[in-house]
Amino acid sequence: MRLWIKDPIAILAEGAERGVVIEDGVIVELIGAGKEPMLPVDQTFDASRHVITPGLVNTHHHFFQTLTRAHPEAINKELFPWLHSLYPIWAKNVTPENFRLGTRLALTELMISGSTAASDHHYLFPDGLESAMDIQAEEAERVGIRMTLTRGSMNLSQKDGGLPPDTVVQDEDTILADCERVLSRYHDTSKGAKLQVALAPCAPFTVTKRLMQESVSLAEKYDCRLHTHLGETIDEDDYCFEKFNCRPVDYLEECGWLNERVWLAHGIHFNDDEVKRLGHACVGVCHCPTSNMVLASGQCRTKELEAAGCPVGLGVDGSASNDNSNLIESVRHALMIN
């Protein structure tokens, strides 16, 4: 099927005044002023009342948090107390049915705001939600968005010195077995794939070092990406000093995570040397300007990170710290605070 999106009001591309031709979900031709498609088309869409813009890519989200927007228990709190307030609520209320609805709403809002690709960092697995990745795969196909299923994980609970309650974590073997299952079933490495998988231990304060290292081994075996929260708050720095006697980026390197497979969420509290090291390793960083302001976490050094060699993307983060899934609004906020 060759589709000509014809004669838009405006298009953000040079030499494409008359639109673009799409074939099998890929732009295959730009139509310049006064020109026609080089090959016959099967269908034409009259875009004379439309503007063609690039699809936005949301690189960090927590779809399940759509269920707890603007929750009164979490208002005006920084990250750690915010998490302490919400974990018990999530543990009791994120059922498969609710999770499906939250996922569908988040994906729909992303698409309405111009996103055509999304990554969701799902790390919450209370009993009964073992099929979370399968639910997300079904919902992504249903709405037609391109998606990375980011199989998150937590295996350090409060009894182990971590933040989350015991009821939402899994043991290492269960996590690693399901990571392999999800990779085998959904990870498509072909060009233009609609569905891929990344592995995403939640954060240094919710997972063991072994889980971080084993995730690297699986990523190399299946050729997939790696993702985690890092450098979001000063509390995280303090935790790493107390538990590992080093800063978060040092810990990341110890775990084998300083490489181009990795992208980090937030990346706020990096010093100059760490910015250089991350850039040299081509580690990506997702800037979440709205969430960072809501939680008073700080401001990501986007310009310095880009200059050092880090790919920098945007994310809306979870709806509990953003209150919507509007990525174009995050673009505006990133511009305002830059």
- What's the pLDDT tens digit per position in 287-338? 999 999 999 999 999 999 999 999 999 999 987 788 889 999 999 999 998 7
CA distances for 238 relative to 59, 230, 231, 276, 288, angstroms:
26, 13, 11, 22, 22
User: Are residue 74 and residue 41 in the same domain, yes or no?
Assistant: no
**Pair (16, 106) in one structural domain:** no
If asked whether residues 184 and 132 sit together in one domain, one would say yes
Residue (of 152, 268, 132) closest to 206 by Cα position: 152
Q: How far apart are CA 338 and CA 239, in angstroms?
A: 28
Do 267 and 323 fall within a single domain?
yes
Rounded to whole angstroms, the Cα distance separating 263 from 59 reads 9
Non-local (6+) Cβ contacts of 270 within 8 A are 231, 249, 278, 301, 305
pTM given for the model: 0.93
Q: Give the pLDDT confidence score for residue 163 in this predicted structure.
A: 82
CA atoms within 13 A on the CB side of 8: 19
Counting as low any pLDDT under 70, the low residues of the chain are none
Q: What is the pLDDT of residue 224?
A: 98
pLDDT at 322: 83
pLDDT at 70: 86
Residues 305 and 261 in one domain: yes
pLDDT at 205: 83
pLDDT for residue 10: 97
Number of independent structural domains in the chain = 2
Same domain, 43 and 87: no
Q: Are strands 225-230 and 262-266 parallel, antiparallel or unpaired?
A: parallel
pLDDT at 279: 98
With beta carbons less than 8 A apart as the criterion, state whether 153 and 198 touch: no
Same domain, 47 and 184: no
3 state SS of 294: helix
Are 157 and 166 within 8 A, CB to CB? yes
| Other C-beta atoms lying within 10 Å of the C-beta of residue 166 | 11
- 148 pairs with which residues across the strands? 119, 196
- Do 60 and 106 lie in a common domain? yes
Same domain as 183, residue 139: yes
CATH number of the domain to which 257 belongs: 3.20.20.140
Amino acid type, 238: D
The rounded distance, in Å, linking the Cα atoms of 292 and 316 is 10
Which of 134, 145, 138 has the alpha carbon at shortest distance from 110? Answer: 145
Clarify whether residues 252 and 305 are in a common domain: yes
**Are 34 and 111 in the same domain?**
no
What does the pLDDT read at residue 25?
A: 82
The whole domain housing 18 covers 2-52
Amino acid at 248: P
In this structure, the answer to whether residues 61 and 191 fall within a common structural domain is yes
- Helix, strand, coil content of the chain in percent (nearest 5): 40, 20, 40
Q: Which token pair is 85?
A: 């307030």
Cα distances (angstroms) measured from residue 69 to each of 62, 106, 302, 328 = 12, 12, 27, 19
